[in-house]
């Protein structure tokens, strides 16, 4: 008789088998099984391939909605999944006991639950749970020596999350697709309880950007000399709203030397950044390496499976003493590139990390295990690993100290300000190089009453700028801030918005497409709860209560289903209107490459809207370019462009419509930049 150990991934199964003894491997049906026999126990360690079971619609009819009758079933479209289930089922018949050793989080608990219940014959309740945050030999052996009961609350919360995501995602997506079919077209559209609010964040920001009207202002800068050292100072008002006021200040200050009015000299203590949780790691990797959040998570999971770092899907910024600071840091000393940094920490009397406020009941912050890599890491793998190691080491470093000098200077009754900032003690920053930079600004030695030679005063016109577009990292941070989605799913949600063509990458970040606007407009009009952050956040809180055992999963799902049905009722009534709205948006996207009309120059080609492959800017060009026609014209780079089918009465070039914001006025313009109508303002 043997103990059957259920793992989530083949690499994890192999690591666990190696930690428990000297395994032998067999591959029935092409599925790896590791067998370990020692004087105390006999294990057979099997592996899932991620999820082997998923939710399915009992009707099996994709055109039917609403759908609330669900069942858990094997993912039958994948033959390897079926082979894995069959192998595990055969092994379960002769097993005397079971160990759930999948990742210790909601997804891992659901994967193990499904296998133990459905493939092994209702064995979840009697199985024991192995809990570990790293795949090091020592921690695996310790977890098997201290097995616990499975976390039923974690399983209930995970299964409930799958059900909520399914009934919202499937029903709303089918509603969108059917509304589009009502106008005679088909497209793969989707929306969900987390996807909706996330897209709405981007839409709100895009509207804010497109409606922004830049206002001019002026900044005034003076250059001073003290004993041959020059420095600049800014006028005390960061913005001067009127040019006449700015000119008056310039005229009053010209040729007048400055007098130092006041000096403040302060020291500032700069503590290290908190250890990484998955959101912090994803944002830092994007900032430093331009890695998308999903890719960063994939790399981190590879490092975890190689036992190089702890479990990455964590919200915690805490490093408990139980992980063994000394041991980890000493282990890193054997990795050549970190030996010098580690020696700085090992010389300290006490190792106390600087931690952040966020916690996670399942896992600590991400930390290196101290185990040296057994194989050479790829370039990006090493970058992420090095970032994690140095962030961990920096958490134990001394606070850095900086010196801040602020000076006010009087010039003819006008006050200018200058600041200097220098680092007097690097502390933890030494341990986090090259990922931390301190921009120093030095001032000459100054004293109150010093006379400063005025080298010149200048005014510069600037314009107010709209908010920045979200990028992948900042959109993920917004989701985290609003408490929607989970640490494991947020990156996938953003990826889905790209796949559906709701978002597109642009130079300034993420731009919402016409289709993305249309979907959100439809949701806000006919199913506003779907894009409500409050509703999604409430569901997350209810799922947390299910995990803690203070809420019943059935009642949570029933409440959510009732709200969904309310939204779908009005949605179904307006199917045709929604379909027409989305069709218009897709047609507008398609019009980006559509012909505008016959070229008025060569009379052979068609003028089309095209996008440069190098600059990504759109412009009008003739399809007869290869035949020698050089007809081109610039286009507005913002807003949706729609064909009108009409030509300009002045020059015969096509007229296009431009809409700069959803619901805003459509501007009709001639594409010919030299058209006389532009000079007269008649277009």
Beta bridge partners of 155: none
Q: Choosing from 124, 311, 325, 432, which is the catalytic residue?
A: 311
512, two tokens: 């919402």
Cis, peptide link before residue 66, omega less than 30° from 0: yes
- Could you tell me which of 268, 569, 549, 294 has the C-alpha nearest to residue 420? 268
- Could you tell me which of 325, 326, 319, 332 has the C-alpha nearest to residue 370? 332
Query: Strand (E) positions, 471-568?
Result: 503-506, 509-512
293-305 helix and 490-499 helix, angle to the nearest 10 degrees: 130
Secondary structure (3-state) at 321: helix
Question: Positive or negative, the Cα torsion across 542, 546, 547, 548?
Answer: positive
Return d(Cα 174, Cα 164) in angstroms, integer: 15
DSSP line for 440-455:
-B------TT-EEEEE
In the chain, what's the furthest Cα-to-Cα distance? 97
5, 127 Cβ separation under 8 angstroms: no
Rg (CA), the chain: 32
| Residue 111 half-sphere exposure toward CB, CA atoms < 13 A | 21
Beta-carbon contacts of residue 476 (< 8 Å; ≥ 6 apart): 279, 282, 283, 293, 490, 491, 494
Chain centroid offset of residue 300 CA:
15
Three-state SS annotation for 322-375: HHCHHHHHHHHHCCHHHHHHHHHHHCCCCCCCCCCCCCCCCCCCCCECCCCCCC
Return d(Cα 258, Cα 193) in angstroms, integer: 61
What are the C-alpha distances in Å from 158 to residues 165, 210, 488, 551, 660? Answer: 11, 40, 12, 14, 43
Return d(Cα 683, Cα 337) in angstroms, integer: 66
Verify whether residue 432 is a known catalytic residue: no
584 φ, ψ (degrees, to nearest 5): -65, -40
Residues marked as catalytic: 311
């Amino acid at each position: 008789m043997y103990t059957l150990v259920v793992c989530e991934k083949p690499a994890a199964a192999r690591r666990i088998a190696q930690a428990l003894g000297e395994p032998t491997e067999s591959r029935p049906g092409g599925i790896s099984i590791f067998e370990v026999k020692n004087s105390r126990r006999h294990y057979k360690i099997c592996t899932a391939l991620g999820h082997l079971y998923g939710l399915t619609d009992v009707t099996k009819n994709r055109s039917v909605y609403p759908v609330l009758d669900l069942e858990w079933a094997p993912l039958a479209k994948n033959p390897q999944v079926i082979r894995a289930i069959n192998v595990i089922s055969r092994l379960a018949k002769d097993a005397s006991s079971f160990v759930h050793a999948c990742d210790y989080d909601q997804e891992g608990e659901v994967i193990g639950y499904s296998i133990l219940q459905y493939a092994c014959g209702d064995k979840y309740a009697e199985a024991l749970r192995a809990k570990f945050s790293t795949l090091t030999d020592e921690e695996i052996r310790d977890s098997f020596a201290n097995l616990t009961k499975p976390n039923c609350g974690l399983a209930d919360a995970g299964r409930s999350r799958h059900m909520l995501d399914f009934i919202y995602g499937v029903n709303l997506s089918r509603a969108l697709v059917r509304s589009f079919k009502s106008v005679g077209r088909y497209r793969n559209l989707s929306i969900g309880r987390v996807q909706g609010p996330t897209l709405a964040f981007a839409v709100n920001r895009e509207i804010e950007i497109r409606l922004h009207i830049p206002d001019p202002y002026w900044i005034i800068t003076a250059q001073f000399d003290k004993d041959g050292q020059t420095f600049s100072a800014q006028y005390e008002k960061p913005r001067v709203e009127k040019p006449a006021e700015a000119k008056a200040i310039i005229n009053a200050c010209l040729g007048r030397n400055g007098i130092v009015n006041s000096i403040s000299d302060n020291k500032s203590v700069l503590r290290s950044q908190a250890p990484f949780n998955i959101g912090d790691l994803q944002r830092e990797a994007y900032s430093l390496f331009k890695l998308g959040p999903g890719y960063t998570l994939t790399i981190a999971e590879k490092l975890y499976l190689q036992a190089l770092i702890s479990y990455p899907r964590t919200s915690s910024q805490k490093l408990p003493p139980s992980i063994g600071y000394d041991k980890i840091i000493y282990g890193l000393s054997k990795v050549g590139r970190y030996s010098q940094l580690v020696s700085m920490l090992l010389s300290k009397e006490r190792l106390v990390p600087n931690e952040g406020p966020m916690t996670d009941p399942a896992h600590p912050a991400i930390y290196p295990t101290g185990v040296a890599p057994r194989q050479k890491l790829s370039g990006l793998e090493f970058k992420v690993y090095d970032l994690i190691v140095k962030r961990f080491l920096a958490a134990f470093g001394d606070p850095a100290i900086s010196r801040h000098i602020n000076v006010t200077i009087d010039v003819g009754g006008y006050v200018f300000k200058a600041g200097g900032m220098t680092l007097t003690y690097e502390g933890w920053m030494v341990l986090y190089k090259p990922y931390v930079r301190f921009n120093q600004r030095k001032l000459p030695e100054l004293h109150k009453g010093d006379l400063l030679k005025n080298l010149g005063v200048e005014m510069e016109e600037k314009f107010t700028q709209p908010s920045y577009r979200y990028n992948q990292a900042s959109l993920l941070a917004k989701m985290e801030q609003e408490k929607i989605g989970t640490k494991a799913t947020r990156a996938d949600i953003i990826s889905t918005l790209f796949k559906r063509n709701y978002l597109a990458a642009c130079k300034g970040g993420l731009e919402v497409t016409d289709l993305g606007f249309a979907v959100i407009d439809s949701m806000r009009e006919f199913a506003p709860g779907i894009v409500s952050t409050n509703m999604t956040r409430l569901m997350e809180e209810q799922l947390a209560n299910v995990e803690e055992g203070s809420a019943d999963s059935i009642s949570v799902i029933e409440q959510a289903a009732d709200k969904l049905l309310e939204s779908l009722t009005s949605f179904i009534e307006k199917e045709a209107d929604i379909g027409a709205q989305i069709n218009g948006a897709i047609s507008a996207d398609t019009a980006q490459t559509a012909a505008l009309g016959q070229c008025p120059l060569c009379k052979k080609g068609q003028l089309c809207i095209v996008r440069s492959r190098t600059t990504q800017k759109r412009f009008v060009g003739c399809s007869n370019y290869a035949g020698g026609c050089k007809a081109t014209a610039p286009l507005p780079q913002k807003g949706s462009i729609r064909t009108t089918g009409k030509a300009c009465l002045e020059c015969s070039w096509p007229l296009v419509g431009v809409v700069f914001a959803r619901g805003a006025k459509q501007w009709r313009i001639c594409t010919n930049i030299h058209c006389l109508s532009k000079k007269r303002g008649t277009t």
